[in-house]
Amino acid sequence: MTTMTDASVREFKMPDVGEGLTEAEILKWYVQVGDTVTDGQVVCEVETAKAAVELPIPYDGVVRDLRFPEGTTVDVGTSIIAIDVSGKAPAEAPAEAAEVPAAAAAPAAAPEKKPEGRQPVLVGYGVAASSTKRRPRKGPEVPIQQASVAIQTELNGHGPAPADPAPTAPAVPAAAAGQSRPLAKPPVRKLAKDLGVDLTTVIPSGPDGIITREDVHAAVTATETPVPAPVVPQAQAQAPVTVPAAPAASYDAARETRVPVKGVRKATAQAMVGSAFTAPHVTEFVTVDVTRTLKLVEDLKQDKDFTGLRVNPLLLIAKALLVAIKRNPDINASWDETNQEIVLKHYVNLGIAAATPRGLIVPNIKDAHAKALPQLAQELGELVTTAKEGRTSPTAMQGGTVTITNVGVFGVDTGTPILPPGESAILAVGAIKLQPWVHKGKVKPRQVTTLALSFDHRLIDGELGSKVLADVAAILEQPKKLITWA
């Protein structure tokens, strides 16, 4: 078994794979104990609040231990895998000592200095599902001679059967079982804290003694209506002691489905609430004839400079917004609450809202203001493709300044979008529909859409927001202004 004092063992800790992230869930292990790994080899996939990321190991060696099973949420800086860099395969341990509870663990040595090595490569936003097979959670490893069969039988429920039948032991809280710290995921710990529940008093029902949300709620119910469990000395026990079962869920599983809020959905919810209640939103609308823009789209598809590139109305709408920002640069800014300053930005990282299987994400095109139309088309196509395939990296979703959301693809006329945190404006594009329109004094069928611009009224007045929206509309109605205004 691996010990923390073994100089040949390197502990690989959960890295911070994005700005300010504090935890990540282990989605899938790609290696097993005893496997040989090389520097740079991907060993697992984890999901953060922003994306799913594959983590490479920065060592050559043999896997000695996987510290957590799949599906476990781990704090940044916590060791998740141990690698024996000496290259020796781990020795076979007797079956009866294969799993040792935390209560029998020897005191761990002082944390090792973080080893040097290559930082994890951010592969991107994966769509791999968590495996349904869960390996047991392993506590700190101890010498084999400390693995007491009696402790295993009492706490883990396995091991050699006693000579005389013994009563079934009731479930007990982690503290009573000798564990120094109850096993629970960070969201469950937060729930317990919010409800004022001491986790050391909670009876776990999850696999490997992990406390679940239901256990916390059951503890609250038990506190409101206490039901003392009988205490019977083992020597006098004549019949099994039965502890009242936890109350059933308060919802009908046949009529409702409950989905844990985590990952991208959790991050999106927190960001939208923070933005909606921090930045005072103003939304303005304009309906515009985009018939000439659609004709230009068809012409560009035949242009050799756009061969192999995705050319659609969104491309010209993006270019129109960039030109409007160039004409009205003060809209490209952010509000610095700490320093009470307005930060004017001389670059545009153009965000494109994208719906993915994991939820809404907003990757952005870096320095979009400096790109020619063919280059903008190429990067816009790559951004959309990467998002749909679930490969968007956390870096691609950071640093946006202004965003476009195309709700028209769903047949919606328009909307009142909420600003991504830290951004000054977001443009919603509605569905393009053939409508009767007055053109050159006559009512004719024209291609029409409605635009909506939401902006932060702390730093953008109505006049400035109106000018930007009017400029975008003017360009889409008369695309030749891309030449005269650019």
Q: How far, in Å, CA of 280 to CA of 462, rounded?
A: 12
pLDDT confidence of residue 219: 79
CATH classification of the domain holding 346? 3.30.559.10
**Phi, psi for residue 23 in degrees, rounded to 5:** -155, 165
Q: Which amino acid is present at 420?
A: P
Reported in sequence order, the residue ranges of 5-138 that DSSP labels E, i.e. its strands, are 9-13, 23-29, 36-37, 42-47, 52-56, 61-66, 73-75, 79-84
Following DSSP, what letter does each residue of 404-449 receive, concatenated? EEEGGGGT-----PPPPTT-SEEEEE---EEEEEEETTEEEEEEEE
Is residue 217 domain-shared with residue 233, that is, in the same domain? yes
How far from 149 is each of 102, 153, 157, 173, 197, CA to CA, in Å?
Answer: 14, 6, 10, 21, 33
What is the SS3 assignment for 117? coil
Distance of CA 392 to the CA centre of its chain: 12
Is residue 300 domain-shared with residue 422, that is, in the same domain? yes
How far from 193 is each of 176, 187, 188, 338, 417, CA to CA, in Å?
Answer: 20, 10, 9, 29, 34
What is the SS3 assignment for 185? coil
Residue 395: HSE in the Cβ half-sphere, 13 Å Cα cutoff = 5
What is the SS3 assignment for 295? helix
Residue 139: HSE in the Cβ half-sphere, 13 Å Cα cutoff = 24
pLDDT confidence of residue 105: 41
pLDDT confidence of residue 366: 96
Is residue 349 domain-shared with residue 477, that is, in the same domain? yes
CATH classification of the domain holding 209? 4.10.320.10
The DSSP element (H or E) to which 355 belongs, if any, is strand 354-356
pLDDT confidence of residue 260: 78
Q: How far, in Å, CA of 370 to CA of 172, rounded?
A: 64
Is residue 412 domain-shared with residue 450, that is, in the same domain? yes
Q: Which of 384, 363, 426, 420 is nearest to 51 (CA)?
A: 363
Is residue 115 domain-shared with residue 182, that is, in the same domain? no
pLDDT confidence of residue 429: 96
Q: Does 217 qualify as catalytic in the annotation?
A: no
Catalytic residue among 158, 346, 439, 457: 457
C-beta separation of 81 from 57 below 8 A: yes
Instruction: Give the count of beta carbons closer than 10 Å to the beta carbon of residue 111.
Output: 11
Is residue 90 domain-shared with residue 13, that is, in the same domain? yes
Q: Give the end of a domain, one of 226, 243, 260.
A: 260
pLDDT confidence of residue 178: 54
Listed in sequence order, the residues at least 6 apart from 151 whose beta carbon sits closer than 8 Å to its beta carbon are 100, 101, 103, 104
Is residue 356 domain-shared with residue 463, that is, in the same domain? yes
How far from 310 is each of 195, 356, 444, 456, CA to CA, in Å?
Answer: 52, 19, 30, 32
Is residue 107 domain-shared with residue 27, that is, in the same domain? yes
Q: Give the end of a domain, one of 239, 260, 281.
A: 260
Is residue 429 domain-shared with residue 459, that is, in the same domain? yes
Tokens, residue 32: 């097993």
Q: Which of 53, 105, 115 is nearest to 82 (CA)?
A: 115
Q: Which of 433, 475, 431 is nearest to 451 (CA)?
A: 431
Q: How far, in Å, CA of 342 to CA of 206, rounded?
A: 50
Q: Give the end of a domain, one of 161, 182, 206.
A: 161
CATH classification of the domain holding 95? 2.40.50.100
C-beta separation of 48 from 18 below 8 A: yes
Q: How far, in Å, CA of 141 to CA of 108, rounded?
A: 9
Q: How far, in Å, CA of 122 to CA of 17, rounded?
A: 7
Domain that holds residue 14: 1-161
Helix axes 186-195, 213-224, angle to 10 degrees: 20
Beta-bridge mates of residue 44: 29, 55
pLDDT confidence of residue 268: 64
pLDDT per residue as tens, the chain (486 positions): 444 446 789 999 988 766 556 788 888 999 999 999 999 899 998 877 666 788 999 989 999 999 999 988 888 889 999 999 986 555 544 444 334 344 334 444 444 444 444 433 333 333 333 333 334 444 444 343 343 333 343 434 444 444 444 444 455 665 555 555 677 776 777 777 777 788 888 888 877 778 887 888 787 776 654 444 444 444 444 445 454 554 545 667 787 877 777 766 676 666 667 666 577 788 999 999 999 999 999 999 999 999 999 999 999 999 999 999 999 999 999 988 888 888 999 999 999 998 877 778 889 999 999 999 999 999 999 998 888 887 888 788 889 999 999 999 999 999 999 888 889 999 999 999 999 999 999 999 999 999 999 999 888 999 999 999 999 999 999 999 999 997
Is residue 201 domain-shared with residue 136, that is, in the same domain? no
pTM over 0.85: no
Is residue 174 domain-shared with residue 123, that is, in the same domain? no
Q: How far, in Å, CA of 374 to CA of 386, rounded?
A: 18
Q: How far, in Å, CA of 420 to CA of 406, rounded?
A: 15
pLDDT confidence of residue 52: 73
What is the SS3 assignment for 62? strand
The DSSP element (H or E) to which 322 belongs, if any, is helix 313-327
Q: Pairing relation of β-strands 341-344 and 364-365?
A: unpaired
Is residue 292 domain-shared with residue 225, that is, in the same domain? no
pLDDT confidence of residue 127: 32
Distance of CA 195 to the CA centre of its chain: 25
User: Domain tally for the chain?
Assistant: 3
pLDDT confidence of residue 50: 61
**Per-residue model confidence as pLDDT tens digits over 399-452:** 999 999 999 999 999 999 988 888 999 999 999 999 999 999 999 999 999 999
